[in-house]
Amino acid sequence: MSSPHPPPPPPRRCAVIRGLSPMVEMPKRRDILAIVLIVLPWTLLITVWHQSAITPLLTIRKACHHLVKEIFIIPERLAARRHRLADDGAEGRHETGQGSDSKEYCSSDKDIVEVVRTEYVYTRPPPWSDVLPTIHVVTPTYSRPVQKAELTRLANTFLHVPNLHWILVEDAQRRTPLVSRLLRETGLNYTHLNVETPRNYKLRGDARDPRIPRGTMQRNLALRWLRETFSPNSTQPGIVYFADDDNTYSLELFEEMRSTRKVSVWPVAFVGGLRYESPKVNAAGKVYGWKTVFDPHRPFAIDMAGFAVNLRLILYKPQAYFKLRGVKGGYQESSLLRELVTLNDLEPKAANCTKILVWHTRTEKPVLVNEGKKGFTDPNVEI
């Protein structure tokens, strides 16, 4: 039983330090001193925190499952040089050296704008994170004059994306030194494959024969490689994206696709003879159709650059490949997607498919008239 004590006296200045009644003048000053001492640490804290909020070079939007992560990227001199992902299927990589400092906070928001505080490390990919899902980008490529240029600027884009694994598949009998050298020099995490499309499937010159889709065999080889390298039971999450080497990708796109659970979709500019093609999203956030002019009744009226698939789905459905023969123009994407997912399962990204984050640009074929029959320029100079 607690002994009764007198009710708290009315708030008078001297009430705080009752027992020190001899010092009647001092309590006033003591009061102030006490209040100052209480407030001071908090103001200091607030100002210092405020000042240390340095403008980020990159802001990455990430859908965390109730987690917010702050990644402090280590400066250049501490970062280890990145190595190519081993062909024997090593999943993910670990930081050598200091590693990244990370703190986790719980938050109720699902989509959180994450500030990646970085001292920018020029020309190197961001350090590997153990938490972010890996984006496996499958790019088929073939030899032509603009190939090195296309791959160079694509690499410049990919060097900004954390946890990116580039699977470059050449349409060639063997891996060319041009591509091998380029991949090595970028410092990106890559896998270099090759498969030659048999002559009767290749596009002849500029002949627009829509029955023979280019890059199909290369993409299928990449899918097979993924299935051979990763097991369905592995915990390393991954996303598979098919990126052609002449398109243009914004950095935001990669962060949008990172949260794919099954298959996510978004609009693509300059396809289908329109400014952009996009999935139709209803008020409930579900895809119910396709906003296209060219054959909108295709099962998946979407461009190759307009969707991404969760790696686990690829691994669980090992029979799903792009159809090689007898595919009508524009149906190639459907040939893969219909084996993986239904319309209902599609996840719309890019603000419910209202923002353009990828452009289906095409590079002009350069007219090399002045080369003549024998070639005017030194063939040893690589372009």
320-359: contacts with another protein (CB under 8 A):
354-356, 359
Nearer to another protein, 123 or 342 (CB): 123
Q: What is the DSSP string of 282-312?
A: -TTS-EEEEE-SS-TTSTT---GGGEEEEHH
Residues 126-146 as b or e (16 or more Cβ within 10 Å = b): bbbbeebbbbbbbbbbbeeee
Distance, CA of 335 to CA of 326 (rounded, Å): 11
- Name residues contacting another protein, limited to 190-249 (CB under 8 A): 248-249
Helix (H, G, I), strand (E, B) or coil at 22: coil
Q: How far is the CB of 323 from another protein (least distance, A)?
A: 25
**Which residue ranges make up the annotated binding site for Mn(2+)?**
246
Among residues 333, 339, 347, 364, which one is catalytic? 333
Which residues fall in the annotated binding site for UDP-alpha-D-glucuronate? Answer: 140-142, 171, 214, 219, 244-246, 360-362
Place of tokens 């704008």: 113
| Smallest separation, CB 375 to another protein (Å) | 8
Told to judge if 333 belongs to the known catalytic residues of this protein, a careful annotator would answer: yes
**From the CB of residue 336, how many other CB atoms can be counted at a distance below 10 Å?**
25
Among residues 23, 35, 57, 90, the one that binds another protein under rule CB under 8 A = 57
160 binds another protein (CB under 8 A): yes
Q: Which of 247, 334 has the CB closer to another protein? A: 247
Q: Look at the block and give the residue holding tokens 């063997």.
A: 174
Among 58, 63, 131, 178, binds another protein (CB under 8 A): 58
Does residue 360 touch another protein according to CB under 8 A? yes
Among 104, 119, 209, 339, binds another protein (CB under 8 A): 119
* Site for another protein contains 152 (CB under 8 A): yes
153 lies in the site for another protein, by CB under 8 A: yes
Of 256, 225, 220, the C-alpha closest to 352 is 256
Burial class (CB in 10 A: 0-12, 13-18, 19+), 162: buried
Q: Hey, which residues are catalytic here?
A: 333
